Amino acid sequence: MPEDPEDLTGIEEDGPSRRDFFSRVGLAACAVAAAGSGIVTLDFLKPKVLFEPPTRFRAGSPLDYPEGVVRFNKEQRAYVIGAPGGVYALSAVCTHLGCITRFLSDEKCIACPCHGSRFDLEGNVIHGPAPRPLQWLEMQVDATGTLLVDTSVTIPHGRIFKA
Amino acid sequence: MRDLSLGSLGSRLRETALYRSIVRHGIADTNRNRSLIIFENLFLHVHPVKVRKKTLRFSHTYWLGGITLACALVLNATGILLMFYYHPSVPQAYRDMKELAFVVENGMFLRNLHRWAAHLMVFAAFLHMLRVFYHRAYRPPRQFNWVVGVVLLLATLLLSYTGYLLPWDQLAFWGVSVGTNMAKEAPLIGEQVRFLLLGGHAVSENALLRFYVLHCVVLPVALLLLLSVHIWRVRKDGGVQGPPEEPEIPERGEVP
Amino acid sequence: MNNLPPIHVVESADPLATPRRVALVRPDIRPAVRRREERWVMTFPHLIVREVILLQVVVIGLALAAIFFDAPLQGIANPLETPNPAKAPWYFLGLQELLHYFPPVVAGVLMPALVVIALVVIPYARVNLTAGPLWASHPGRTAAVVGAVTFFLAALFAAFACWPIVVPTVLVAAAIFAARGGESGGRLRRVLAGVTLPEWIMTWFVVVATILTVIGTFFRGPGWSLVWPWNAAVFG
């Protein structure tokens, strides 16, 4: 073990010197401080309370939706569609880049103006750059029998709500 | 007899104690004074005192770096002026754009200047990068400066993009919506990055405020720091390098 | 050391020339020595005045543009109403055009990331530092490799029906092959023959990016359909 040139006492020591030890502790403390600052800053930047409108909305009575009827709720960006035996809700947000789609009643399909994606009435992609089908949204009835749609909750494709 | 002509006014002023406490060199009539003008000035002394004559030609670098920098200066000045009339809130931001266009003296002119300078800066930065590439001016010892340049290009694009949202019109809103939806597609961190950038789940007043802070404070400071490093390194690497020269090997017996 | 040529000493009367260095070059060693001393000038006024003039020209040019061309301002932002088409700023329109052919992960994240990484790596890749003219060595092998890579790229992008990339790829490849054997031709042919591989690659990238941006800006209308430029929505 070579003698530590800083060691003036002439005593050979095993392992790091006191100076090395304190240097490492100091550097570790700086690293912890830097990491802590970074984490705290990042957490600061993430908003915890958002003033965004509520995602649940009332969609009328199930009797308003005979088969083939499509109602578009613009504020909530959702279609409520009548199907044989029930009702279901589709997100109107195109899965490509988030533009809001439109329902073309003469062609019985949903089209996106941004890049030309087209979807059928079940949300499947007919044509265009959209990578995924439109999301199906959760549907419930409240105590008075009114349909309740929650646009922040998605359900498996094809699950029609039987009223 | 004191000389009272106008021509001597300048030289008499320059002899006053006040002037000489501020300016420590004479007029540029000797090489020493010309050196001191550069050397003693905080802002100018990033330049060397002498430069190679051939680097002054337009065809050496087409002055593209200079054009980019000139645009940055114009953007800084017009941006600060525009800030005096702009509130980064919804819907006030849009009303402020209308106010700038119709009410504020020279408001439209300054806004236009800001916008066209922004487009020119992006374009000039690209051309500058291409010029450096085709002249092979990224070779050692200039490699890291090339990397700094690429980061500067990204900072320029980000500045342009964050500024794009601020008018809060349809063009701004949807242009940024599409862009942040693209960011969401990045694996693992995409959603998080988008949430941080927008301060929420969608482009809203939170997003406007964040983009405003990025555009007016964070990115300009980053650009300034990176530009300083970039220009300093050009100086340290021996000045701008234009078209590459072949080293000439003298014939036997010839004195170079 | 006895049969050296005589050394000529020349004194310069020019106060702006820097002192010369005299190098003794042994006849049996031939380092690359610059034939001419560089000429230096004072920064003030020569460089400073050019910088000031450049700033003035840029400001005047931009001011003229600002007087005659207005920045656009559409209706107030409406999160419920997506305009048709919804276009990004011009420097991102190439990317948006690419989005038409590839999924967002590829066109929006992967490709830009690859481009940035490729740019950053340029000064550290050996090929960029040592490359000579493309056709200078092994022309047969070069032809085979260029042909194979072109075919592969063209087939790959054609599989995605991405013609704005296929066509420039083929055109640049044609230019590469046209450059072969051009050392003895006219000025243009000699310049083309001297282009190195990294320069060809960058040229390909610039051409593709330009064409994508031009299409996205001038040839795309509602629903991102192909339209003539006079029908496309071109915004500043």
Structure-block tokens of residue C45 = 């006024």
Q: Which residue in chain C has the smallest CA separation from B173?
A: C77
Domain that holds residue B203: 53-236
- Name the one residue in this structure whose structure tokens are 């990484």: C117
Cβ contact A100–C84 (<8 Å)? no
CB under 8 A, 24+ apart: contacts of A123-131: A123/A90, A123/A91, A123/A157, A125/A95, A128/A96, A129/A96, A129/C99, A129/C100, A129/C101, A129/C102, A129/C103, A130/A94, A130/A95, A130/A96, A131/A95, A131/A96, A131/C103, A131/C104
CB-CB contact of A63 with A141 (8 Å): no
- As a 3-state breakdown, chain A gives helix, strand, coil percent values, each rounded to 5, of 20, 30, 50
CATH class given for the domain over A56-155: mainly beta
Per-residue pLDDT of chain A (163 residues; tens, 9 = 90+): 555 566 566 666 678 899 999 999 999 999 999 999 999 999 999 988 888 778 888 888 888 888 888 889 888 889 999 888 888 999 999 888 788 888 988 888 898 877 778 899 888 998 877 888 898 999 888 888 888 999 888 888 888 888 6
pLDDT given for residue B16 in this prediction: 92
pLDDT at B2 over 60: yes
pLDDT at C174 over 50: yes
Q: What average pLDDT does the structure give for chain C?
A: 85
CA gap A122, A2 in Å, rounded? 78
List CB contacts of A123: < 8 A, sequence separation 6 or more.
Answer: A90, A91, A110, A133, A134, A135, A136, A157
Spacing of C-alpha C1 from chain mean position:
50
Structure-block tokens of residue C11 = 């004194």
- Which H/E stretch holds residue A40? helix A18-45
ipTM of the complex: 0.89
Residue in C193, C196, C176, C202 with CA at minimum distance from that of residue C122 = C202
In the complex, which subunits touch C with 3 or more CB pairs below 8 angstroms? A, B
CA gap B167, A119 in Å, rounded? 33
Helices (H) then strands (E): counts for chain C: 9, 1
Write down the domain spans for chain A. 1-51, 56-155
Q: What average pLDDT does the structure give for chain B?
A: 90
pLDDT given for residue B256 in this prediction: 46
Chain C nearest-CA distance from A118, in A, is 10
CATH number at residue B168: 1.20.810.10
Exposure letters B9-41 (e unless 16+ CB within 10 A, then b): eeeeeeeeeeeeeeeebeebeeeeebbbbbbee
Query: Is some CB atom of chain B closer than 8 A to the CB atom of A48?
Result: no
pLDDT given for residue C133 in this prediction: 87
pLDDT at B231 over 70: yes
What's the whole-number mean pLDDT along residues B109-136? 96
**Strands (DSSP E) found in chain C:** 40-42
Query: Is some CB atom of chain B closer than 8 A to the CB atom of C65?
Result: yes
What is the tens place of the pLDDT at every residue in B140-198? 889 999 999 999 999 999 999 999 999 999 999 988 888 888 888 888 888 889 999 99
Q: Which residue in chain A has the smallest CA separation from C86?
A: A114
CB-CB contact of B117 with B74 (8 Å): yes
- Which H/E stretch holds residue C14? none
**Total domains present in chain B:** 1
Question: Residue C236's pLDDT band (boundaries 50, 70, 90)?
Answer: very low
Q: C70 vs B161, B162, B166, C64, C223, CA distance in Å?
A: 19, 20, 17, 11, 26
Predicted model pTM: 0.84
pLDDT given for residue B85 in this prediction: 96
CB-CB contact of B235 with B47 (8 Å): yes
What is the interface size between A and B, counted as CB pairs within 8 Å? 26
What is the tens place of the pLDDT at every residue in C77-128? 998 888 877 788 888 888 888 888 888 888 888 999 999 999 999 999 888 8
pLDDT given for residue A100 in this prediction: 87
**Pick from B92-106, C26-40, C55-69: least confident:** C26-40
Peptide bond into B243 cis (omega under 30): no
C70: how many CB neighbours lie within 10 A of its CB? 14
Higher pLDDT, B166 or C221: B166
Question: Residue C26's pLDDT band (boundaries 50, 70, 90)?
Answer: low
CB-CB contact of B67 with B124 (8 Å): yes
Which of chain A's residues have a Cβ under 8 Å away from the Cβ of B202?
A: 52
pLDDT given for residue C93 in this prediction: 87
